[in-house]
């Protein structure tokens, strides 16, 4: 059971060159995979392709295949795909419907669009709010929440559609430390409950905490992949425009100062 990109190359509509070249990756059910890379490296493009938005919603040209459980998604209608792979973007405010007056309604929005019975939607919304730990926000106006809370509402809305995989493009990029902690905790819970997560982030501390594997993308190509601890300690990260986690930076500083000590795990 997996979401798979098989030798995917992708060119945006009107662009002269490809933004992704021959990218292959697999996200197993319940697995958390991080994607890092400099600005313009191709992280968002991977998210758009993995979720099926590119090319079917935004156009462009795709080579290779995107598969769910080995079945090519090219032939699936978008609503079917959206129910299997949810995608969220970095700016939480732009993800809200702007028409819902309560968080409960907001979270129900996507599930209602799947054409489910009302009782089913209500049950799903309650579950999604609980899974993210924001049941107490249900009656609040989604437009008057903190950035971190808004991001949680957006993710809960995806969860209510019961996708097997979530693709999160820089979920904490625009959040303050409190928002980052809030979203990090919620994602940790989701992963523990078995939702597969593909997370792009500049915040490698978040990935160090959540993901089992990390992929590095540079110039539209996958240049490295492996266990999180190994990849995030790779000395080439700087060349790829990625800041290592605080722990790795501290370890390096200690080494440079001649304090050859190992940090306790
Ligand atoms: N709509 C578009 N049309 C044409 N080219 C695009 C479009 N969006 C992105 N690109 C190009 O595709 C490449 C990858 O961009 P992408 O947005 O995936 O990078 P990113 O890793 O998400 O960067 P950031 O960290 O800044 O979000 C870049 O060269 C970018 O200029
Ligand atoms: Mg991006």
Amino acid 241: pLDDT? 97
| 169 and 249, same domain (yes or no) | yes
Cis peptide before 55 (omega within 30 of 0): yes
| 24 and 80, same domain (yes or no) | yes
Q: What is the mean pLDDT of residues 107-115?
A: 92
| 61 and 168, same domain (yes or no) | yes
pTM: 0.93
| 182 and 116, same domain (yes or no) | no
Within a domain: 234: yes
Q: How confident is the model at residue 222 (pLDDT cuts 50, 70, 90)?
A: very high
From the alpha carbon of 48, which atom of ligand 1 is closest? Answer: 18
Instruction: Specify the higher pLDDT residue, 264 or 58.
Output: 58
| 100 and 206, same domain (yes or no) | no
Letter string b/e over residues 157-183, b meaning 16 or more CB atoms within 10 A of that residue's CB? bbbbbbbbbbbbbbbbbbbeeebbebb
Residues in the chain: 265
| 132 and 170, same domain (yes or no) | no
| 111 and 209, same domain (yes or no) | no
- Domain end position, chosen among 162, 188, 220: 162
| 198 and 74, same domain (yes or no) | yes
The CATH number assigned to the domain holding 176 equals 3.40.50.300
User: By percentage, how much of the chain surpasses pLDDT 70?
Assistant: 98
| 77 and 171, same domain (yes or no) | yes
Tokens found for residue 107: 């979270």
Q: How confident is the model at residue 264 (pLDDT cuts 50, 70, 90)?
A: low
Amino acid 83: pLDDT? 84
Indicate if ligand 1 lies below 6 Å from the C-beta of 42.
Answer: yes
Tokens found for residue 262: 């190992």
Within a domain: 265: no
| 250 and 168, same domain (yes or no) | yes
Amino acid 261: pLDDT? 64
Q: 117 alpha carbon to ligand 2 midpoint, in Å?
A: 36
Amino acid 48: pLDDT? 96
- Domain end position, chosen among 116, 135, 162: 162
Alpha-carbon distance of 43 to 200, in angstroms, equals 6
Q: 264 alpha carbon to ligand 1 midpoint, in Å?
A: 39
User: By percentage, how much of the chain surpasses pLDDT 90?
Assistant: 73
Indicate if ligand 1 lies below 6 Å from the C-beta of 86.
Answer: no
Indicate if ligand 1 lies below 6 Å from the C-beta of 40.
Answer: yes
- Using CA positions, which residue lies closest to atom 2 of ligand 1? 12
Q: What is the mean pLDDT of residues 157-167?
A: 92
Q: How confident is the model at residue 263 (pLDDT cuts 50, 70, 90)?
A: low
SS3 assignment for 221-252: EEEEEEEHHHHHCCHHHCCCCCCCCHHHHHHH
Within a domain: 52: yes
Range of the domain at 66: 2-84+163-256
DSSP per position, 163-182:
-SEEEEESTTTT--HHHHHH
Residue whose entry in the numeric block shows the structure tokens 């059971």: 1
| 169 and 80, same domain (yes or no) | yes
């Amino acid at each position: 059971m997996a979401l798979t990109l098989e030798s995917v190359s992708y060119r945006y509509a009107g662009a002269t060159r490809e933004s992704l070249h021959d990218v292959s990756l697999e996200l197993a059910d319940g697995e958390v995979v991080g994607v890092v890379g400099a600005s313009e490296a191709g992280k968002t493009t991977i998210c758009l392709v993995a979720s099926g938005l590119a090319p079917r919603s935004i156009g462009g040209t795709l080579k290779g295949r995107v598969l769910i459980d080995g079945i090519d998604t090219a032939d699936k209608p978008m609503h079917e795909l959206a129910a299997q792979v949810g995608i969220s973007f970095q700016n939480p405010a732009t993800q809200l419907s702007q028409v819902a007056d309560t968080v409960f309604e907001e979270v129900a929005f996507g599930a209602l669009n799947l054409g489910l019975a009302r009782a089913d939607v209500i049950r799903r919304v309650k579950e999604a709010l609980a899974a993210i730990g924001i049941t107490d926000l249900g009656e609040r106006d989604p437009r008057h929440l903190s950035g971190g809370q808004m991001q949680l509402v957006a993710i809960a809305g995806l969860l209510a559609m019961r996708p097997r995989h979530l693709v999160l493009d820089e979920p904490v990029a625009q959040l303050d430390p409190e928002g980052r902690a809030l979203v990090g905790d919620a994602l940790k819970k989701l992963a523990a409950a078995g939702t597969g997560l593909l997370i792009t982030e500049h915040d490698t501390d978040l990935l160090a905490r959540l993901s089992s594997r990390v992929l590095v993308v540079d110039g539209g190509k996958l240049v490295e992949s492996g266990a999180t601890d190994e990849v995030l300690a790779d000395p080439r990260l700087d060349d790829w425009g990625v800041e290592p986690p605080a722990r790795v930076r501290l370890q390096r500083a200690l080494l440079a100062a001649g304090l050859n000590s190992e940090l306790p795990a």
